[in-house]
Structure formats: structure tokens, C-alpha cells
A and B are shown apart, each in its own frame.
Chain A
Amino acid sequence: MSKYLPKLSELKKEFDEKPSVLKGDYSPREWWNLPVEFRDGNWCFPAKPEVLDDLGFANPRKWAATDEDWQLPSGWQKTISDGLHSRLRKYRSLKLFLDACVRCGACADKCHFFLGTGDPKNMPVVRAELLRSVYRNDFPLVEKILKGFSGSRKLTEEVVKEWHMYFHQCTECRRCSVFCPFGIDTAEITIMVRELLNLIGVNNNWILGPVSNCNRTGNHLGIEPHTFVQNINSLAEDIEDLTGVTVEPTFNRKGAEVLFITPSGDVFGDPGVYTMMGYLLLFHHIGLDYTISTYASEGGNFGLFTSNDMMKKLNAKMYHEAKRLGVKWILGGECGHMWRVVHQYMNTMNGPADFLEQPVSPITGTRFSNAAATKMVHIAEFTADLIHHNKLKLDPKRNDHLRTTFHDSCNVARGMGMFEEPRYVLRNVCNSFHEMPENTIREKTFCCGSGSGLNAEEYMDIRMRGGFPRAHAVRYVKERHKVDSLVTICAIDRASLPPLMRYWNPGVSVYGLHELVGNALVMQGEKKRTTDLRENDMAGFEDGGDDEE
């Protein structure tokens, strides 16, 4: 059994002795008086002191959320209050979101964490209220006078604990904001609270560990350049074994036309590496003049889950490398929050990138005017354009062993409005594709439950709960259409959906879109292919079977 699990006898004793909502012990109390209780399994490990030291972040110490005393720094209330005040001045959106909400409740049942747990504090409106109640205590004058009546409360250590719990049960997926009549983006409130918590050293190692690694070597795992190169070359060798084709990726090559940046999960993790093999095959197929940077070796940016300044710092390497290498534009791989940062913030944060050109596909001549500002094109758009212009030789039958559905990644769907391109690519590279129910896809897509740095293994129970609505929708197509493959365009999804599927829908595997592209590409000079990139047998391509023309 896992060492994180409490013993049954402990749980029973605890339930009998402690007051509980289940026993009706809190019925006359205000919602915020309900206790917040950390127990192993419902909190992410805090950042290690050395990680905070490396980053120069506040209050490095050894602590656990289950501790009575969180060792907050002296004057922490003032730090938070000043921090909130300065952010209200800096971000007009935050003030607007705190003031504008009328508590209509349209968002309430849209959150996957609320649907998976039934906990009222996971309703986006109440989650935001956790901050709003403190904001009202200190800020607008009228409400300051009307204390109590306006639902305000003092900032106490209990509030900090509550923030830590519930702002880490939000994946910043923004599904709630789709339904808000005022367009309030609750994700932005979560972003702000996490930023405030970082000021007093209340944090998450699964976020800050990768941030520190990125800060040092450029990527989440802290892999150094030679290992990064060896890994990709090792995947190139796999490609040669499987297809007989030699792909030759280059690294840090000055004067290449395109710089390719993808999440490092595609270079190190299973099943991301198969997606990487798909990219390499695609680039070889079209003869793209591209290079990969060992410094901008990470598309993901956990700074987004930490602070605005850290996000900006970690993002800067993309333009730095593009400039140093003298490329014309940047092509970005399959990732979720990377695209939120690139699409919504990069240009104003680290731009303008006037040393780059507006991206033009060297193969089709298509001008990507949508990327005129950022100079960075999403690979699904790039590939969809290639297919549209009939530039790829594809055999979708090579994916006949897979029955697919498509999971819209929150940030790509809601963060940049991309719905059709990946579907267009998917329909062209495989013959069996079935959509999940309408209210669980496109802009209403359900999060994987592990986004925004909650993908920690000690957090598995909560991730399984939060991911339940997504898994339930997959189950629907699994039962009706025998779907066995969940295709996605996000590296966090590729890491977090496999356990989610193994738990809720055994038998469903997770694939990156370009892995399927790689399977379907008919390469010049290739040998007879009988297996896909995972070395699983393809249907109808056995020896003596129906080979491609």
C-alpha cells in the first residue's frame, strides 16, 4: 500500500471524534467557518528550501500542510495586504473581477473540481469569494464600513490555509469563465492568489521545482544540453529502426529558417516522446529548414502558476534564442499552458519581436497573419495547412488499429480559440474519430484535472476526482463507439491523462496528435512498416497483409 494512505482505524477514530459536515455539526455556521483539513493525499508537497534559495523566493523552510504552525514570516499579513493592493493597482482586470461579480451562480456547476467533489468551496464563485471576502474587509470604503453585512472577514492563518487548499483545487482551466455573463476569469483570481501565497512561502514543489530547473537549464527536468541532444538523437535512431528513414535534427544551428520549441515532456516522457518522433518525421517529410535549441528547451512555463515576473523571465528564452540563432519565425509544439503564455502574454511581456518575420509556411506559402504579433505558429495550424494544400503523403489506414476521440486542451481551446485545426488533422490521419458529448468539448472542454502544476503524484486522489467529468465523457464514447485512444495536444495531458484513463477507463490509451501524423506519414525511402511508433502492430499491415501502395 502507499505510504501516503492513513490507516482505517485512524480514519474511523478521526471521524468519530472530530466534528464533520456529514454529521450536521456545522449547520448554523457561515460557509467560511467550515474547517479546512489537510491530510496526506489532499495537499501537494511544499517547495524544498534549496529550490526557494535558488529562486530567491521568500521564506525557505521545511514544513508540511498538515503542520499546525506553517512558520509564516513575521508581518505576513502586511505582505499579503500590500501585495494585493499593488496588484489591484497594476491589474485592472483583478479589481474588475473582484468588484463585478453579482453571485448569479452561472459558474457554480461548471467546475470539474466542483462536479467531482461536490465541495461548495470548489464552486468558482465561492472560490473567488475566498479572496473577495478579504478584499472587502480592507478595500472599498463603503464595504469597510458595512463589515459583516458585506460578507467580509479578516485575513487570518486559517484563511491562508483555506486559500492554499482551494486555489490548488483550481487548474486555471477557465471553463467557468465561458459561462460567466460578466466574463469574469476566475483563473486570473487563482493566478493572483497563488502569486500572493508565494510571497509568504506557501507553495508547491511540483510547480517551483520545475521553475527552478527552467531557471537554471531551460527545461522542467533540469536536463543539460548534451543529454537533451542525446535524447532526441536516440529517438531519431528509433525512427530509423522503425521506418528505415534517417531524420537529422539539428541543434542551436544559426541561420535556420525556423526555431522549433516544444514542451520537454516530449523529449523525456512517455508517451510524449512518440509525439516528438511524429514531429521529426513530419519535418523530414517536408524538408523543413529548422533547428532545436538546447536552451529554449522547454515550451512549458510554470512561471504562469507562480508569478507574472517569473512567467516573463522563463518565457524570455524563446525570443532570446530566436534572435541569437537568427531564425525567421518560431514553430511551437503541442502544449497547453505554453500557448496561453505565448498567445496572450508573450508579445506584450517580452516583445515586440521585430527581429523576426511574420511566419510564412515555406512549403505552402501560407502567411500566418494570426501570428503577426508573436511570430510563433502552433504546429496543429502548420500541419493542417500542409494537409489542406495536399503537401503530405498520408495513409490513414495505418491508424486503423486505433479508435480515437479528441480531448481539447483547456489552454489551446479557451486560451487561443483553436478547435478545428487539430480535428482537421486528426480526420486526415485516421479513419475512426468520434466526438465526446458536445458540452464536454471545444470551449466547454473539461480539464484533465491535473493542470496548472497539480500533477504531483501525492495529489493523485484529488486529481482523480477533478478529472472525473473528463473521464466520464470519455467513457461515453468508449461504450458507444468502442473508442480506445484519447488524442490530445498538450504535454500535461499526455502526462496526466494516462493515469486518469487507467483508473476510470482501463483500456483507453493517450496519444499526441503528431504521433498519429507520424504513423500515417508515408516517407520517401521507407521500409515496410508493420508497427506504429510505439511498436504496436498496425491493423492490416501484417506480413502478407494489405500494404500501402
Chain B
Amino acid sequence: MNYSMSTEWAYIIDANRDVIIGQWLDCSLALFPEKMGYDTPVADALAEALGTLLTGLGKEDQRFMDALDDITRILAVQNFPPSRAISIFFEPKAMFREIMKRSNVAESLTQKVQTEFSSRIDELVLQAFDSYMQHREKIAQLKVEEGSRRMFMALRRAEA
């Protein structure tokens, strides 16, 4: 794949991609009841989407938005509250901080990169919130549509 990394943090993310995805998936699955394993369709879908999300963090193309939608689509119908669901999008901040701590980058640069990354993640959380809410709206809409579909012929006769 050909894409350009526009910022320093994007290079750091790319270099530590597998570690971050692994930890991010762990955090995400921890939201679910204890038995949500790594070999389930949910984990499978989350892992794929988190990977795409991380790749697209620096450029926000359609694939990035689709991946974000895929993740929030799963989260929006679970048995945990919205605040818990959205919390996973904050997680990369802590992971990034750890990575920076272990690196031998100069202190001044570390500060700058971390602040930039932190803003990007704040923005991601807001994007995730929009996306999550779209799915909740969709659920409400599906309930209405289902009622009309069930009464399709009755409504058709009423309109005629």
C-alpha cells in the first residue's frame, strides 16, 4: 500500500503497529463479558477494523471511515453503556505514551509529538461518537420500518 505519513506520530504508530493493534484489541474485548474470545466473529471483525483504523489515522480516507463505522456498529448494540463503548478510542493515548517512554527520542520532541497525537485521538473520539450515534439512530429507524413492513398490505390498503 502506498500512503504518505504526514506527521512524526504516524511513523511511530506504523513502526509499532502490531503491538498497538494487539493491545487495542485486548482493551476492546475486555468490554465484553469475560468469555468473548479471540476466535469469535466479533474479535475477528474488531481486529480487522482496528488495523484499518490505525493505518488510516493519519489520512482519514473512506476506508478509515468505514472501519470506524464497523467498530462502532458492533459497540452500539452491546450491553454496556455508550461511555464504556467510546472509551476504547482513548486507549491509544496510553499505549503511545508507553512507546514514547521506551524510545530514546529527545524530551522536547516527545512532548510535541505526544501533544499532536493526543489531539488526533481526541478528534477520533468525537468522530467515533458521531458514528456511534448514527448506529443508534439506525436502530430506532429499523424498529419503525419493521412495524411498517409487517403491516405492508394493511398500510397499502389504507393508502389506496
Contact = CB atoms under 8 A, between A and B. Distances in A.
Given A115-B42, A504-B73, A499 B142 contact: yes
B87 to A, nearest CB: 11
Interface stretch (B7-15, B75-83, B93-101, B115-123): B75-83
B19 interface: no
Interface in A322-343: none
Contact of A495 (B39, B135, B149): B149
Contacts of B33: 21, 117-120
B152 A123 contact: no
* A: contact size bracket: 35 or more
Prevailing SS type, chain B contact patch: helix
A526 interface: no
Contacts, number: 129
B146 interface: yes
A491 B92 CA distance: 45
A8 interface: yes
Contact of B79 (A12, A42, A273): A42
Contact of A468 (B74, B143, B146, B148): B74
Interface residues of B, number: 45
Given A267-B153, A268-B154, A465 B40 contact: no
Contact of A498 (B39, B147, B149): B149
Interface in A466-484: 468-469, 472
B78 A465 contact: yes
Contacts of A548: none
Interface string B62-88: 000000000001100111111110000
B126 interface: no
A472 B44 contact: yes
Given A8-B82, A468-B42, A268 B150 contact: yes
A503 interface: yes
A462 B44 CA distance: 20
Interface of A: 1-2, 5-6, 8, 11-12, 14-15, 21-22, 42, 109, 114-120, 123, 221, 230-231, 234, 265, 267-271, 273, 457-458, 460-462, 464-465, 468-469, 472, 495, 498-499, 502-504
For the complex of A and B, list the 3 residue pairs with the smallest distance between their C-beta atoms, beginning with the closest.
A118-B36, A11-B81, A270-B152
Given A118-B37, A269-B150, A457-B146, 16 more contacts: A1-B136, A1-B140, A8-B82, A8-B83, A12-B83, A15-B84, A115-B41, A118-B40, A119-B79, A221-B150, A231-B153, A269-B152, A498-B149, A503-B135, A503-B138, A503-B142
